[in-house]
């Protein structure tokens, strides 16, 4: 593999791994504060705990996808590029779905659930990771060439 795509893929792998590690720490904070938050909202909202943990699980799945794509990118595999694009798309759909579902209600519990649900995405937005990832993805595909369809 030529050196330009190798450098781009390795930089993208490092950025993705750092974002996933930071997101893992943020989600760990969500899990560690679960009992405090449940005591505050659990009595008024009986399904609060299940929704809270479902949002934490969704964040963990996104983090897992980020780690796998970082690993594949570090090994210079094209599948890592596709998986990262897929992960960013899933994050966008998750963001739109969560905001649509939770912004229809205005309460303290909605704010708490938004904070838990968007913990990974807020970190990515603050560090401008999606923008950097898209730029590096475009560069990687430019250097590697977009795969052509197999001839039949």
Please tell me the predicted confidence (pLDDT) of residue 42.
63
Please tell me the predicted confidence (pLDDT) of residue 149.
52
Distance CA 17, CA 113 (A): 26
Distance CA 75, CA 6 (A): 9
Distance CA 109, CA 147 (A): 47
What's the rounded mean pLDDT across residues 53-76? 93
pLDDT band (50, 70, 90) for residue 1: low
Query: What is the torsion angle, in degrees rounded to the nearest 10, for the CA atoms of residue 25, residue 15, residue 124 and residue 21?
Result: -10
Angle at 35 between CA 20 and CA 98, to 5 degrees: 50
150 φψ region: left (φ > 0), alpha (ψ -120 to 50), beta (else): beta
pLDDT band (50, 70, 90) for residue 22: very high
Most confident range, picked from 80-84, 107-111, 114-118: 80-84
pLDDT band (50, 70, 90) for residue 98: confident
pLDDT at 16 over 90: yes
pLDDT at 101 over 90: no
Q: What is the 8-class DSSP label of residue 151?
A: P
């Amino acid at each position: 593999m030529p050196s330009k795509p190798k450098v781009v893929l390795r930089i993208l792998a490092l950025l993705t791994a750092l974002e996933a590690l930071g997101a893992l720490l943020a989600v760990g904070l969500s899990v560690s504060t679960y009992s405090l938050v449940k005591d505050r909202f659990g009595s008024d909202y009986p399904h609060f705990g299940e929704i809270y943990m479902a949002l934490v699980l969704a964040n963990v799945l996104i983090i897992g996808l980020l780690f796998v794509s970082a690993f594949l990118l570090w090994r210079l595999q094209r599948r890592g590029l596709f998986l990262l694009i897929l992960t960013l798309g899933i994050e966008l759909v998750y963001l739109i779905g969560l905001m649509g579902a939770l912004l229809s209600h205005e309460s303290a519990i909605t704010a708490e659930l938004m904070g838990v649900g968007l913990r990974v995405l807020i970190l990515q937005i603050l560090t401008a990771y999606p923008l950097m990832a898209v730029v590096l993805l475009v560069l990687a595909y430019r250097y590697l060439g977009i795969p052509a369809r197999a001839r039949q």
